[in-house]
């Protein structure tokens, strides 16, 4: 049986095994679901945008 390695989510900072990798950053399933359901007017929206900017910064560093 293959063990799945836990990765640190760039949004919540928790160690999770299920999620997506975008470029080189990991986003857990919980955060991904919350992000895609968040409306622009939501108070959490700027936080998610800020966390996603890390992808761009890391990729272009």
Q: Which pLDDT belongs to residue 46?
A: 96
Q: What is the spatial distance between Cα 14 and Cα 57, in angstroms, rounded to a whole number? A: 21
State the residue for tokens 């919980």.
30
What mean pLDDT do residues 43-61 have?
A: 86
Res 51 pLDDT > 70 = yes
Are 37 and 48 a contacting pair, CB within 8 Å? no
Q: What is the spatial distance between Cα 15 and Cα 43, in angstroms, rounded to a whole number? A: 24
Q: Which pLDDT belongs to residue 31?
A: 96
pLDDT tens-digit map of 1-46:
677 889 999 999 999 999 999 888 899 999 999 999 999 999 999 9
pTM for this prediction:
0.82
Question: Hey, what are 19's tokens?
Answer: 């999620």
Q: Which residues pair with 16 in a beta bridge?
A: 7
Higher pLDDT, 50 or 2: 50
């Amino acid at each position: 049986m293959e063990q799945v390695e836990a990765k640190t989510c760039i949004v919540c900072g928790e160690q999770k095994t299920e999620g997506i990798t975008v470029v080189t950053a990991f986003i857990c399933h919980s955060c991904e679901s919350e992000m895609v359901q968040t409306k622009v007017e939501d108070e959490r929206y700027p936080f998610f945008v800020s966390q996603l900017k890390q992808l761009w910064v890391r990729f272009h560093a």
